[in-house]
Amino acid sequence: MKIKNAIFFGKRMLTDFNENKHLTICPDNKNSKLSCYYFVFEEDKINTRGGNHPFLFDAQGIPQVHSYIDVVDTKGYFYYPITIGQYALAVFHTWLKTQDPDKKAYFLRFADWFMDKRTDDPMLGTYWLTETAKPEYGVNTPWKSAFAQSRAISVLLRAWQLTGDKTYLETATRALIPFTKDITSGGVSVDREKGETFYEEYVAAKPTRVLDGHGFCLFGLYDYIRAVPESVNPNGHALAQQLFDEGVEGLIRQIPKFDMGFWSRFNRCDLPGYPQDDPCTIGYLRLVRQQFLILHGLTGREELHTFSEKFRHYDRIPNILKMYRHKFRALKKLNRL
């Protein structure tokens, strides 16, 4: 198992140098008519990530993702809402380019998947669960994810605008509710009481604070602000704006805590035994700094531009070598090598 893991992470390291060098950014991310997502995903590229198993598609064309390399007892293929949402957006991008009615129908099957797989709760709103385990966070039961909420919102709002079917909008609105609650109360946020609201990609027993996951959550919330004006749903619009503003302020206050002085941490995890310094990969650093640039364009907050430039200057060989030394120690501590 350890040899297999070492080979897996070795392959990932080799592909990492070229990862996210040329991300395509949507030029129009403020229009109320939702077009391309903030990053322009492409169907063929999503399914060819280095080191991962290829997707397994079900009869409706919904991709299933193989379990993580360090999952032992429940290996296999699972529906993974975060990835399903990303693939849905890639299909939507194909439809935007081609206007192919088959692609439109395919995209709407993704929206219907989110409708079918949702859980509705009178107190916790609408949410989606991921069933594959996350051993590094001690998560072995189906788990919530603010990132999955965000992906669902972005997909459902586009389906609503395509079809006029208000059930998509109503579900997207209820999907805002988990963002309002702490993970200790069945929600997907942490640190609100400190004025540093952070939305959790992986909801565990303690905060895990994955940096890019929080950024993607803000994109989903901003999609709602753009697409749903006060005239359509005043309460939903106001809530999405509040959650977005809280999340942006939380991000700005927390970014310095991710800064290692030469690189960025992948997360800031409070679980016992989790390494304090778990640096992100090269591709991840490039992704996050682009998220900061997009959010700077949406908010005008100069702190985001400053940190984007800082992270850009970190992306050089001496820092990369130093990062990998820290990464190796973190993987060893997590028993992943």
User: Tens digit of pLDDT for each residue in 77-123?
Assistant: 999 999 999 999 999 999 999 999 999 999 999 999 999 999 999 99
**Strand ranges inside 80-172, DSSP E:** 119-121, 125-127
The Cα–Cα gap between 137 and 278 comes to 13
The Cα–Cα gap between 73 and 65 comes to 16
Question: At residue 50, does pLDDT exceed 50?
Answer: no
- Report the SS3 class of residue 209: coil
**Strand ranges inside the chain, DSSP E:** 56-57, 63-66, 77-78, 119-121, 125-127, 189-190, 198-199
- Asked whether the CA dihedral 124, 127, 132, 133 is positive or negative, the reply is negative
User: Which tokens sit at 191?
Assistant: 């640190």
User: What pLDDT, on a 0 to 100 scale, did the predictor assign at position 73?
Assistant: 63
Residue 15: band (very low, low, confident or very high) from pLDDT cuts 50, 70, 90: confident
Q: Whole-model pTM above 0.75?
A: yes
Burial of 220 (0-12, 13-18, 19+ CB in 10 A): buried
User: What pLDDT, on a 0 to 100 scale, did the predictor assign at position 54?
Assistant: 87
Question: At residue 48, does pLDDT exceed 70?
Answer: no
The Cα–Cα gap between 4 and 150 comes to 33
- Report the SS3 class of residue 332: helix
Residue 11: band (very low, low, confident or very high) from pLDDT cuts 50, 70, 90: low
Query: 3-state SS string over 182-197?
Result: EHHHCCCEECHHHCCC
The Cα–Cα gap between 12 and 6 comes to 10
Q: Which of 132, 143, 281, 128 is nearest to 211 (CA)?
A: 281
- Report the SS3 class of residue 310: helix
Question: At residue 319, does pLDDT exceed 90?
Answer: yes
User: Which tokens sit at 29?
Assistant: 């991310």
pLDDT digits (tens, 9 = 90+) for 181-191: 999 999 999 99
Given a contact cutoff of 8 angstroms between Cβ atoms, the answer to whether 150 and 217 are in contact is yes
If one compares 132 and 39, the residue with the highest pLDDT of the two is: 39
The Cα–Cα gap between 301 and 292 comes to 10
Question: At residue 51, does pLDDT exceed 80?
Answer: no
The Cα–Cα gap between 34 and 155 comes to 10
Exposure on the CB side of residue 190, measured as CA atoms within 13 A: 20
What single-letter amino acid sits at 118?
Answer: R
User: Which tokens sit at 200?
Assistant: 């959790």
